[in-house]
Amino acid sequence: MRTTRQFSITLPNEMADMLRAKVEAGEYASESEVVRDGLRALAARDRAVEAWLRETVVPAAQALKADPSQALTPEQVREHLARRRKATLKAEA
């Protein structure tokens, strides 16, 4: 039984050029390897998002549901975001 499947895909010119450039630069042996590596990276990102949702978002939502007094007002959220933006801009300068 085969462990691989053949696909035919259509890519925008920019992506096709990037794929070909990776192979021509010797970073990958074939276009298929580039696609496989991209899919592995996508799967890793998906796992990271799932873990963040499970480990951070769900507990925070449950805590807020259990004690709504923890909620921030819209003004508190705006102030927090403004402080973070200011700190980010300062760090980038």
Q: What is the average pLDDT across 85-93?
A: 93
What would the two tokens of residue 48 be?
């990271």
pTM: 0.72
The contacts of residue 27 (CB under 8 Å, 6+ apart) are 34
pLDDT at 25: 98
Q: Is the pLDDT of residue 93 over 90?
A: no
d(CA 88, CA 93): 9
Q: Is the pLDDT of residue 1 over 90?
A: no
Tell me the torsion sign for CA atoms 30, 32, 38, 43.
negative
